[in-house]
């Protein structure tokens, strides 16, 4: 029986893309498994980023494009729970919401799909590589400044097909999304840390609810993975300290070390990839915010603000 302290029904807000629906379905199934008898309704919400699939992300506002409408529905009570790809969730949002759960994290690697050349180092000079991420663009140009990196938009399948159909020599996507959709067989090279650091929150789901909704918070706690939660909190704190949204050229990789310490590596890149600064520190997993703040300060000490100010001025 469902505990009397837990809700008997919840409404889950989600975007309508195939990947977003997969993630919401996974959360719904996991909640039903942990709370037998729970009724879960999925509520599809169209976001600004979904409505405009052609403009560059930075040109239509960047931060919060895929989350604001879902968060608004949560605040006004249209839904009880919101499921996000955590890398899309801004570090500052509406008052009254809580990141109640971060389930076990998928692998954080990026994925290269290059049907003909297969590997990044095998792409010829001038080869066209598609990505919608300023972080991926900067990191690839840092490694291969001779490539033609192009901005692309669309859902996972649309961007994948740009490489499979020969419109581009390669595209870069997150391994996690491809794996969740069963499309990872198309990956020709995994680009893993420390060679290529992921976006803040990459591979993780962020499940939000209203902060004062104690029964729903108790329900969502059943899905939380404390190690994954601590890692992404450290990453997000570093991002927030640098006053950046998900659209800045920053990468971060939080994880638990073998000794039980929380590790955080982070980098900030010039958009053209010509300059990169990095920091790597460890901390107490019980205080991931402190680790994130210290890593952000270490990046600042090396000139992160100047790089990011130049990036914002040039957008």
Rg of the chain (C-alpha set): 19
Distance CA 233, CA 295 (A): 13
DSSP β-bridge partners for residue 11: 41
- Torsions phi, psi for 288 (to 5 deg): -65, -25
88, 110, 169, 213: the catalytic one is 88
Burial group, residue 59, by CB count within 10 angstroms (0-12, 13-18, 19+): exposed
| Short-list 245, 107, 117, CA closest to 171 | 117
| Short-list 50, 52, 51, 99, CA closest to 71 | 99
Tell me whether residue 88 is one of the annotated catalytic residues.
yes
SS3 284: coil
DSSP β-bridge partners for residue 151: 131
Distance CA 165, CA 145 (A): 25
Residues 6+ apart with CB under 8 A from 165: none
User: What residues are annotated to the active site?
Assistant: 88
């Amino acid at each position: 029986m469902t505990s009397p302290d837990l809700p008997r029904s919840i409404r889950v807000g989600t975007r309508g893309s195939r990947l977003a629906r997969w993630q919401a379905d996974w959360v719904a199934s996991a909640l039903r498994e942990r709370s037998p008898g729970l009724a879960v309704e999925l509520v599809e919400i169209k976001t600004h980023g979904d409505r405009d699939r052609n403009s560059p992300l930075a040109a239509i506002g960047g931060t919060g494009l895929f989350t604001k409408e879902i968060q608004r529905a949560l605040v006004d009570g249209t839904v009880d729970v919101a499921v996000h790809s955590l890398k899309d969730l801004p570090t500052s949002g509406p008052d009254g919401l809580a990141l109640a759960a971060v389930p076990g994290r998928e692998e954080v690697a990026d994925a290269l799909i290059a049907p003909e050349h297969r590997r990044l180092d095998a792409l010829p000079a001038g080869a066209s590589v598609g990505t919608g991420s300023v972080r991926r663009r900067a990191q690839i140009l840092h490694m291969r400044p001779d490539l033609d990196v192009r901005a692309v938009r669309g859902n996972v399948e649309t961007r994948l097909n740009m490489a499979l159909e020969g419109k581009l020599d390669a595209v870069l996507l997150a391994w996690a999304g491809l794996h969740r959709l069963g499309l990872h067989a198309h990956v020709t090279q995994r680009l893993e840390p420390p060679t290529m650091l992921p976006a803040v929150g990459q591979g993780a789901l962020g499940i939000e609810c209203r902060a004062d909704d104690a029964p729903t918070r108790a329900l969502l706690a059943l899905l939380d993975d404390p190690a994954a939660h601590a890692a992404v909190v450290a990453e997000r704190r570093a991002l927030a300290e640098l006053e950046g949204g998900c659209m800045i050229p920053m990468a971060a990789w939080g994880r638990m070390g073998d000794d039980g310490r929380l590790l955080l590596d982070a980098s900030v890149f010039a958009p053209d990839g010509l300059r990169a600064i990095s920091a790597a520190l460890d901390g107490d997993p019980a205080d991931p915010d402190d680790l994130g703040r210290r890593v952000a300060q270490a990046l600042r000490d090396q000139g992160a603000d100047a790089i990011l100010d130049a990036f914002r001025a040039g957008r």
